[in-house]
Structures are given as C-alpha cells and as structure tokens.
C-alpha cells in the first residue's frame, strides 16, 4: 500500500456524474459522426451507408460492453491502458496499445478542429478563407478548450453537459422536418460500389463511434463507476447508432445525388439547404460548431489521461502525472496534447488522412481490450468475480464480436497509415525501454505499481481484494 499512498497527491477527483458521463459519450462522439464523416463515408457505397452505420454500430456496441465490463473492475484513468496492463500483469502491452491510441487522440482532435473551422466558415466566409483560415479557426477552438480543461473536470463536465442540450435541438431541426421530405427514389441505386465499396466505407464510418470509450478513459473521475460507466458507454452507443441511422436516412433521402454529400465538408448543412430556409441551415451549421467543439473537448479530456497513467506507472516522465494544486488537472499532459494537436491542424494534408490515422489507432485499442476481456474470462477468474457489471448471457459474444469486428476493420483501415504508425510504435518501444531500464537500475517494484490504479487514491482502492469505493 505504500506505493499507492505515495501517489495520493497525484490522484484525480471524481467530479463527473451520470449525466456528465453520458454527455461525454454522446456529445463527444456526435461531432465525428454526424457532422464530419456521415457524408464523406458514402463515397464508395452511396446511400447504403445507412446500413454501414448499423454494421459499425453493432461492433461499437460490443466494444462498449467490453469496455463497460472492464471499467467496473479497473475504474482508472486511461481506461484501456489500465485494463490491458492489469489483466496481463505487464505494463508493456498496455503502453504499446495506448501509445498508438494517444496518436489517434491527437489526430482526432486535429480532425475535429478542422471540422469546427469548416462549419464556422458558414457564418464568416470572407474572414475564414481557404485551408489556412479553417486551420486558424481550429487552432482557436483548441486554445479555448485547452483553457477549459486546464481548470479541471468539473469545468469540463459543466461545459459538455450544456453543449449537449443545444446540440440535440440543432439536430432535431434537421431530422424532424427532413423525415417528412424524404423521396425514396433518392436511395436508388442503394449499393453503388458493391460489397468491396460497402466494406471500404466501414472503416472511415467507424470513426463516427470513436467517442464511445471516452468515458472509460476518464474512469478515475466518474462517480459510482460501477453503475455510471456502463450506463454511459452502452446506453450512449445505442442512442448514437439510432440517431446516426435516422439522420443518414434523412440526408440521403432528401438529396438527389449522394456524391454531393460525399464531397461536402458540411453534409448536414448541405442537406438542410434542400428543404429548409437559410435560418434553419444556419441552425444546423451552429449545431456542427457545437458538435465538433464538444468532441474536441471530450477527446482532449480523455487523451491527457494516457501520459498521466504511464507516468503514474513510471514508464514516462514523472511530471506528466503531476496535477495542478489549484485545479487538480494533469497540466503537463494537457499542454503536450494541445501543442501537438495544434501542429497537426496546420500540417495535415487533408481531413480524410487524419481520420484514417485516428481510426486505425482506436481500432487497435478496441481489439486489445476485447482480447483482454476474453483472456480474463478464460484465465483470470480472480478479476472476473470483481465485476460490478456482468451480463451473464452475451459477454463472450461481445468479446468475440468486438475482437473480430475490430480486426476486420483494421484490415480495411491500415492502408496509408503504416508509414506513420510503424515509426511511431518504434519510438514507443524506445521510450518504454529507456524507462524500463531506469526502473531496473533503481530497483522499481513493478508488482507494487500494478497493485495500484492510475488516478485512484489508496483510500479508495484496496489491491488485496480489488474493491472500489466511490461516491454515488
């Protein structure tokens, strides 16, 4: 317990309630799905992207179940790192999986910031001109949300919950009247690229679900994690799937040529122009601003927990697990994310490239967590019995669907990513090797480290019985 007690001054506060956790999943994901990729993903398959949404949603729900189960056993910061490292009793697999996911988070923040700039351009076309103008607007929203996250999760949770309410209203402005304006002839031809085109759309469309596990990454800051984390991740994913399918059915039903949406950086606003007036289109565009901003906010809050957790486990510089005395936020980790994401906003050659890199990195984590669940079911009965959330029927099915689905999507998503991913992983091995060697030289007690949960104070977690005590 001494190892844990020494780190109590670096632990995180549980300030996020059930609505904050749910708004993290839904509000943090909508910006990627509805307002960025729902149009571009149809380029290879046409209106049948509606079914791709459902297929991706099935895999996403399985992944959400897997994350939810693991989160009730290890409700820690950087959930996927804690799940993998504690299940296999080794820091290396958890580090490599989340090292790639950290890259994905930074790429996702850049992608969403670009999306924000694109929607802001609707209101200020003369001021925000061209790629540079959009990147500057994206940099602006990154800066504002950097400051919000700097003051801690309480400010983050309030902002995220408030944004979600306005965001839902903006979406309803489109889908409710749009449902009455659908022309089924616009769905023909339904499959424009055959089976290959259909599958090719699955990987970029899965980017629409990248926020489903964000609440798990913030597990050390969610109140009553045994109840609120499964509720947020599984419930939020089901709501997202239904909302995505409804919206996709509307926008492809009101627009006569799907390529118009496939080539649009603002597909919802483009669809609104066909049956709504200028004011309504502006409302949808405003919703796009809110959605992309809320996603940047959620991704930023989750991403900073990865270097924080590595540092907690002594495989990254110790300053990254330092928390602000005033706000309780891991400020060094946050600053690093802000600088890198801002640079990617200007550097990325295009939105699709950034999306592919982010999706590939996320899929690796989803595959690893699903495999960890299956391994625990087979070889770790000691942790299985500690789960607060345990669907007796279907857990093995969700593990298999999550693992196989993520693997199949990885095969689709790897093209164009390995030139970035492989060097990044090599760097990760070098970083881990340096800190592993330093730990060996100084006699670091790895077993004692793995008996703690990143971000969780010793008074809350007893490694001898693996019991979590948290406020309701």
Tell me: cis bond preceding 189? Omega within 30 of 0 counts.
Answer: yes
CA distance 458 to 462: 7
The encoded tokens of residue 351 equal 């939105």
**What tokens appear for 221 in the block?**
């800051």
Using one digit for the tens of pLDDT, what is the confidence trace for 299-330? 888 889 999 999 999 999 999 988 877 777 78
Cβ contact 49:252 at 8 Å: yes
Q: What is the 3-state secondary structure (H, E, C) of 92-142?
A: HHHHHHHHHHHHHHHHHHHHHHHHHHHHHHHHCCCCCCHHHHHHHHHHHHH
Residue 190 has pLDDT above 80, yes or no: yes
Tokens representing 155 are 């400010």
Partners of residue 376 on adjacent β-strands: none
List the beta strands (DSSP E) in 290-444: none
Distances (CA, A) of 111 to 33, 138, 467: 12, 9, 39
- Residue 67: Cβ-neighbour burial (10 angstroms; 0-12, 13-18, 19+): buried
Please indicate, yes or no, whether the overall pTM of this predicted structure exceeds 0.85.
yes
Give mean pLDDT, residues 30-57. 81
Give yes or no for residue 2 having a pLDDT over 60: no
| Number of other residues whose CB lies within 10 A of the CB of residue 417 | 21
Section 65-93 average pLDDT = 93
The set of residues, in sequence order, having a beta carbon less than 8 Å from that of 374 and lying 6+ positions away, is: 396, 399, 400, 403
**Residues 255, 42 contacting (CB under 8 angstroms):** no
Residues in the chain: 472
Question: How far apart, in whole angstroms, are the C-alpha atoms of residue 386 and residue 375?
Answer: 15
**The two three-digit tokens of residue 368, written as one number:** 């690893």
Mapped onto helix, strand or coil, the DSSP state of residue 181 is coil
Q: In the chain, pLDDT over 90 holds for what percent of residues?
A: 33
Task: Judge whether residue 350 has pLDDT over 70.
Answer: no
What are the Cα distances from residue 105, in Å, to 84, 100, 260? 18, 9, 29
Distance, CA of 53 to CA of 275 (rounded, Å) = 24
Residue 212 to residues 32, 208, 262, 289, Cα–Cα distance (Å): 11, 9, 24, 20
Q: For residue 165, what are the contacts with CB-CB under 8 A and spacing of at least 6?
A: none
Higher pLDDT among residues 206 and 52, named by residue: 52
Can you tell me the distance from the alpha carbon of 445 to that of 243, in angstroms, rounded to the nearest whole number?
A: 48
79 pLDDT more than 60: yes
pLDDT for residue 31 = 67
Examine the pLDDT at 466 and tell me if it is beyond 70.
no
CA dihedral 248, 249, 253, 254 (to 10 degrees): -60
What is the pLDDT averaged over residues 81-107? 91
DSSP letter at 326 equals: T
64: nearest Cα among 299, 297, 305, 238: 238
pLDDT bracket for residue 352 (50, 70, 90): low
Alpha helices of 124-192 — where are they, by DSSP H? 130-150, 153-179
């Amino acid at each position: 317990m001494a190892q844990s007690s020494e780190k109590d001054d670096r632990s995180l506060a549980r300030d996020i309630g059930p609505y904050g956790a749910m708004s993290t999943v839904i509000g943090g994901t909508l910006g990627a799905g509805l307002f960025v990729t729902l149009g571009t993903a149809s380029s290879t398959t046409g209106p049948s992207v509606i079914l791709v949404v459902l297929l991706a949603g099935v895999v996403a729900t399985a992944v959400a179940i897997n994350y939810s189960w693991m989160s009730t056993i290890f409700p820690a910061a950087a959930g996927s790192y804690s799940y993998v490292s504690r299940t296999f009793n080794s820091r290396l697999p958890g580090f490599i999986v989340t090292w790639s996911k950290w890259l994905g988070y930074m790429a996702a923040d850049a992608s969403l910031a670009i999306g924000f700039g694109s929607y802001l351009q609707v209101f200020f076309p003369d001021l925000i001109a061209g790629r540079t103008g959009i990147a500057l607007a994206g940099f602006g929203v990154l800066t504002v949300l950097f400051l919000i996250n700097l003051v801690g999760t309480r400010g983050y949770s309030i902002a995220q919950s408030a944004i979600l309410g306005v965001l839902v209203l903006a979406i309803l402005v489109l889908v409710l009247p749009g449902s009455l304006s659908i022309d089924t002839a616009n769905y023909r031809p339904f499959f424009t690229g055959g089976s290959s085109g259909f599958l090719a759309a699955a990987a970029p469309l899965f980017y629409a679900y990248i926020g489903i596990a964000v609440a798990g990454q913030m597990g050390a800051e969610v109140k009553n994690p045994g109840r609120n984390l499964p509720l947020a991740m599984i419930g939020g994913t089901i709501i997202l799937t239904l909302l995505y399918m409804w919206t996709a059915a509307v926008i492809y039903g009101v627009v006569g040529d799907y390529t118009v949406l496939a080539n649009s950086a603002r597909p919802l606003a483009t669809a609104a122009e066909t049956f709504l007036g200028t004011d309504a289109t502006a409302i949808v565009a405003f919703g796009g601003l809110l959605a992309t901003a809320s996603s940047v906010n959620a991704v930023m809050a989750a991403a900073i927990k990865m270097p924080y957790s590595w540092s907690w486990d002594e495989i990254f510089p110790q300053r990254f697990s330092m928390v602000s005395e005033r706000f309780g936020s891991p400020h060094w980790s946050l600053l690093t994310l802000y600088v890198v994401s801002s640079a990617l906003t200007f550097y990325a050659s295009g939105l699709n490239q950034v999306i592919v890199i982010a999706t590939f990195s996320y899929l690796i984590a989803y595959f690893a967590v699903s495999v960890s669940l299956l391994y625990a079911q087979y070889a770790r009965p000691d942790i299985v019995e500690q789960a607060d959330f345990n669907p007796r029927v279907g857990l093995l099915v969700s593990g298999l669907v999550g693992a196989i689905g993520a693997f199949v999507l990885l095969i689709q998503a790897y093209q164009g990513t390995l030139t970035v991913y492989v060097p990044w992983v090599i760097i990760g091995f070098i970083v881990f090797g340096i800190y592993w060697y330093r730990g060996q030289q100084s006699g670091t007690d790895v077993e004692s480290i793995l008996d703690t949960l990143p971000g969780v104070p010793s008074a809350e977690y007893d490694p001898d019985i693996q019991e979590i005590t948290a406020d309701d």
